[in-house]
Chains A and B, each alone.
Chain A
Amino acid sequence: MKHTYVLAAALGLSLAAGAAQADKLDDIISSGVLRCAVTLDFPPMGSRDDNNAPIGFDVDYCNDLAEALGVRAEIVDTPFPDRIPALVSGRADIGVASTSDTLERAKTVGFSIPYFAFTNVVLTRDDTGIEAFEDLQGRNVGSVAGVFEALALEEQMDEWGGGTFRPYQSQADVFLALSQGQIEATVVTSTVASAIVESGNFPNLVIGSEAPFGIDYVGIIAMRQEYGLINYLNLFVNQQVRTGRYAELYEKWLGGATPPDLTVRGVYY
């Protein structure tokens, strides 16, 4: 009898300790909801359809992850600058928001292995005479504040000297500024560039040559100390490629060419 009490007490203690150590992955599973911060101003990765419902590659990716976890997905519309506040304030569990995995950022937030990769191109008006990336020297250019290509472009403009760089708040503002003539060119991901040119909303925009920024690998973000969750995200990204779902989503949202390779030759992640 005495043994039973001791055992029960031990069991109770270990359960309590277990509850106290529950990590984010446990929280998501037990709450039944996976809340993903997705930027819905970045087609075709994230945007809204005619009924204002979130759609895009990132949205589908979040839905797949929720399905794998056996929970419901909730998309939290998060502009690029608000990704970290969304995680830290607990409004979202993870960010599936095309977040470039720089070492500087990784000091603050945890990254999964890359789940997508972008290349960047010059987007300009048909009357600027800009063709190659080097033609941007001394020009007025702009991009979306805080995204990978904006940081890279600003650094290049600083290095060249002359001309100005303007960070706008949204991709829509950049296209507006470009089509009006406020800026002469921008550098955007090739996916966004072809989406906007195909949309026909800005008939005077043309795609120039590729920008020499290297491949922009993006990861899923979570709180840095949530190893359990990040481990799961890594396996999930791996499985998406392995099962062909990655290629399927790429075909669905970007179409045409083969999906970008997510590995770097000659080194482990």
Chain B
Amino acid sequence: MFDFSYRFQWAQAMRHLPRMLEGALVTLEIAILSLVVGIAIAVLLAVARDSKYIWLRAPATAWVEVARNTPALFQIYMAHFGLGSFGIYLSPYTALLAGIAFNNAGYLAETFRGALRAIPETQTRAGRSLGMGQAQTFRLIVMPQMFRVAFLPTTNQMVWAILMTSLGVTVGMATDLTGIVQNLNARTFRTFELFAIAAVLYYLIAKTVMLGAQLIAWRLFRY
């Protein structure tokens, strides 16, 4: 039963909005960086998984399997405490970024592989017959089409990446939105007000990123 004698004090929580917005910027920064890194690695993984060489296929498959079938929380925790036990110290920021990028790469690799399957083999052959090299064909003919096919599922992963940044608190992340809200909560005990504002901010960040992605898509994918 919720105790309705609790009075919401929004003004008390709103005083801290500037700090929360600073945190939102850090969250946005980590999400975007993790996507850029994730997409770059995912393209390599997608190609490697369909390679005829086992030494390319095996590590790529292992990466995708681990990234997709273990919790993101575990991946981030391992980047910080797991590597830490081998004397490799990633700061909370780096560990969070690495964990999410690792996760993004695993998921997006499969998305891209699916998209590659949707592009007819004749496209490659047409490119090659025009005198393009193998890499050139992939870069100029296949990859742009792959991104177009994979665009919508990729935006899913974008939103997911933003929400995953909130797992940073498990490795001592203090400067992102969740980290800052947690600190404010401890100081003021205005849990409900602060978390409600944070939820709205996460929604707005996700919407902003989606809008940005759509603008990029509109610029890139027109015929």
Binding site for B on A (CB under 8 A): 80-81, 83-85, 87-90, 102, 104-105, 107-109, 142, 145-147, 150-151, 154, 164-169, 173, 176-177, 180-182, 223, 225
Pick from B12, B174, B188, B192: contact of A166, CB under 8 Å = B174
Interfacial chain A residues near B91, Cβ < 8 Å: 164
Q: Does any Cβ of A come within 8 Å of B23's Cβ?
A: no
Interfacial chain B residues near A150, Cβ < 8 Å: 186
Q: Does any Cβ of A come within 8 Å of B190's Cβ?
A: yes
Interfacial chain A residues near B12, Cβ < 8 Å: 107
Q: Does any Cβ of A come within 8 Å of B106's Cβ?
A: no
- Across the interface, do A168 and B172 meet the contact criterion of CB distance under 8 Å? yes
- Across the interface, do A166 and B172 meet the contact criterion of CB distance under 8 Å? yes
- Across the interface, do A167 and B172 meet the contact criterion of CB distance under 8 Å? yes
Q: Which of B78-86, B128-136, B210-218 contacts A (4 or more CB under 8 A)?
A: B78-86
| Nearest-CB residue, chain A, relative to B5 | A225
- Across the interface, do B85 and A180 meet the contact criterion of CB distance under 8 Å? yes
Pick from A104, A105, A145, A181: contact of B169, CB under 8 Å = A145
Q: Which of B64-72, B111-119, B142-150, B177-185 contacts A (4 or more CB under 8 A)?
A: B177-185
Interfacial chain A residues near B124, Cβ < 8 Å: none
| Nearest-CB residue, chain A, relative to B93 | A164
- Across the interface, do A169 and B169 meet the contact criterion of CB distance under 8 Å? yes
Query: Besides A173-B172, A182-B81, 5 other CB < 8 A contacts?
Result: A80-B186, A105-B188, A146-B187, A168-B171, A176-B81
Q: A182-B84, A223-B5 are in contact. Are A104 and B172 (CB under 8 A)?
A: no
Q: Does any Cβ of A come within 8 Å of B10's Cβ?
A: no
Q: How far is the CB of B214 from chain A (nearest CB, A)?
A: 36
Pick from A85, A142, A223, A225: contact of B172, CB under 8 Å = A142
- Across the interface, do A81 and B172 meet the contact criterion of CB distance under 8 Å? no
- Across the interface, do A181 and B182 meet the contact criterion of CB distance under 8 Å? no
Interfacial chain A residues near B172, Cβ < 8 Å: 142, 166-168, 173, 177, 182
Binding site for A on B (CB under 8 A): 1-3, 5-6, 9, 12, 80-81, 84-85, 87, 89, 91-92, 169-174, 179, 182-183, 185-192
Pick from A107, A180, A223: contact of B84, CB under 8 Å = A180
Interfacial chain A residues near B85, Cβ < 8 Å: 180
Q: A89-B2, A90-B1, A177-B84 are in contact. Are A166 and B92 (CB under 8 A)?
A: yes
7 contacts between A and B (CB under 8 A): A81-B182, A81-B186, A81-B191, A83-B189, A145-B186, A150-B186, A180-B84
Q: How far is the CB of B70 from chain A (nearest CB, A)?
A: 19
| Nearest-CB residue, chain B, relative to A180 | B84
Q: How far is the CB of A111 from chain B (nearest CB, A)?
A: 11
Q: How far is the CB of A228 from chain B (nearest CB, A)?
A: 13
- Across the interface, do A151 and B186 meet the contact criterion of CB distance under 8 Å? yes
Interfacial chain B residues near A84, Cβ < 8 Å: 185, 189, 191
Interfacial chain A residues near B173, Cβ < 8 Å: 166
Interfacial chain B residues near A107, Cβ < 8 Å: 9, 12, 188-189
Interfacial chain B residues near A87, Cβ < 8 Å: 3
Q: How far is the CB of A225 from chain B (nearest CB, A)?
A: 6
- Across the interface, do A146 and B185 meet the contact criterion of CB distance under 8 Å? yes
Q: How far is the CB of A90 from chain B (nearest CB, A)?
A: 5
| Nearest-CB residue, chain A, relative to B172 | A166
Distance of A223 Cα from B84 Cα, bound (Å): 42
Interfacial chain A residues near B174, Cβ < 8 Å: 154, 165-167
Distance of A211 Cα from B92 Cα, bound (Å): 25
Distance of A108 Cα from B5 Cα, bound (Å): 12
Interfacial chain A residues near B1, Cβ < 8 Å: 90
Q: How far is the CB of B163 from chain A (nearest CB, A)?
A: 18
Interfacial chain B residues near A176, Cβ < 8 Å: 81, 84
Distance of A89 Cα from B195 Cα, bound (Å): 15
- Across the interface, do B2 and A145 meet the contact criterion of CB distance under 8 Å? no
| Nearest-CB residue, chain B, relative to A90 | B1
- Across the interface, do B179 and A85 meet the contact criterion of CB distance under 8 Å? no
Distance of A83 Cα from B89 Cα, bound (Å): 32
